[in-house]
Chain A
């Protein structure tokens, strides 16, 4: 069953900076949800193929034609920090 240390690890994987209270609450709530979900283990699924899509549509391909997107400015205008035609980000190297 999930414990506080695992919650911290999962939060790191999900890039969520949880505070102490959230850690405590999520540990409790995820334990309860995972406890409920445990019922799946009682069902025999030996030899059952997994379903990844509701309706089978596989290998959708299209011709590799260039389709320019007209609203380039509309994309760049949404940037929290834009510099000319670039997205600015904080320092990447520590």
Chain B
């Protein structure tokens, strides 16, 4: 299996040229996208220019970055100067940002070749990509099912081997849930580890950029490239970034693992519960001690999240008013109707629903009962994590209670859609780190994800657990046959 680590070594040793690799990935990616629709737009000119620059540097004997020539996809809510950045929304259909996100600038500096912008639920609001204004992406394991969301395009692109890795953003599970549905590795870092500068805001206290990859090692390489302090993001953490590869050791002797009881509720499918039980055996065989822990306030995570995230979204999305960029409704006789007509035409149903909910929660007379209450419960959820991490190194559970669902199954019932994120949401509220890795398949051949969570800035413990489990199992070697 080609990995990022392997490919960058081949390019560095001049066994393959970056241009040849870019051309081959562009061709395969565009061809497979007829079925998967992981991408909103491809960037052949930029990608080939990046690849040529890498080859020129190698030919001249200059040093190149750790991702030299590696083809990647970028979720289309991250800005690149002069390149369409739509957030899968009609309101930004023609938006070409005047600046580049820090995470993308860092990938460029590491020599990565960005071959396209990937699909998402509009403004990253959703769990299936069905809320994209440009049509959903399809799950490479079963084209009749969703890839998950909101970063569904970034996940499907990696699962379909259209790219070797990608960036997504995770506000309530938008990296980990699609990684689980698509049978790949998806990581949400500690809040503040990766700069949000240039990530179009959904819920600023929860949003975090993170990578998708086929292996834990590749995921560590990608995080290494994008993590680090950025003065352009005031919530960016001023911390030393460790060498994550040093955490990739294949045994778990002395590691204390906590099983979150609340993540194995009644909604858990039997196949998911069975795969999880098997994963516990593997971790024990690797030398970990496993015990059950309780985080009783996680049960309130979904409610808390849907107040905080929508409140922040209602404020963040107030900027789409048809004045400085994006869509403007025609034939408005004056300013106020221009605002409301623009927003009515430009936003899809889920975005409107969340703006409505957030505006209501923040409105006079309801603030204390909803927003302030949710912020207090957020404190309690955070306490549950901190309590648990006093006696264990990492926490684990299934990433999602079910495997990928079919198109249309939940689209008319927002609440049932929200419930698919029940195991991933508490993590964002607490700002801690989490990764989803493949841990099995159900009887329909759909992937199952194992979520490993670590305390803030404890990514090395998370990587160690994920790597040791991955090396002891074969799940990550399965490839979908979707053609």
Choose one: A6, A52, A55; the contact of B360 (CB below 8 Å).
A6
User: In the complex, which residues of chain A have a beta carbon less than 8 angstroms from the beta carbon of B374?
Assistant: 40
For window 428-468 of B, CB contacts with A under 8 Å fall at 428-431, 456
A18 near B360 with CB under 8 A, answer no
With A71-B98, A89-B335 as given contacts, are A2 and B360 in contact (CB-CB < 8 Å)?
yes
The interface residues of chain A lying within 8 Å CB-to-CB of B290 are: none
A54 lies within 8 A of B323 (CB)? no
B65-108 CB contacts (< 8 Å) to partner A: 81-82, 95-99
Complex interface: chain A residues within 8 A of B355 (CB): 14, 16
CB distance from B353 to the nearest CB of A (A): 6
Which residues of chain A are within 8 angstroms of B302 by Cβ–Cβ distance? 36
B373 pairs with A41, CB closer than 8 A: yes
7 further A-B pairs in the complex, CB-CB below 8 A; given A50-B375, A90-B332: A18-B352, A34-B360, A49-B376, A54-B205, A75-B324, A80-B322, A87-B324
Q: Closest approach, in angstroms, between the C-beta of A4 and any C-beta of chain B?
A: 12
A87 and B304 alpha carbons, distance in the complex (Å): 39
- How many angstroms between the C-alpha atoms of A49 and B378 in the bound complex? 9
Residues of B within 8 A of A6 (CB): 360
Chain B residue, CB-CB nearest to A78: B325
Closest chain-B Cβ to A67's Cβ sits at a distance in Å of 10
User: Total interface residues on B, using CB and 8 Å?
Assistant: 75
A17 to B321, CA, bound (A): 12
Can you list 12 contacts pairing A with B, beta carbon distance less than 8 Å?
A11-B356, A30-B353, A30-B357, A41-B373, A45-B373, A51-B375, A53-B235, A55-B456, A69-B98, A74-B99, A90-B335, A91-B335
Q: What residues on B are CB-neighbors of A29 within 8 Å?
A: 353, 414
**What does the 1/0 interface line of A29-41 toward B look like (CB < 8 Å)?**
1101110110111
A22 lies within 8 A of chain B by Cβ? yes
- State in angstroms the CA–CA spacing of A62 and B205 once bound together: 20
Q: How far is the CA of A15 from the CA of B339 in the complex (A)?
A: 6
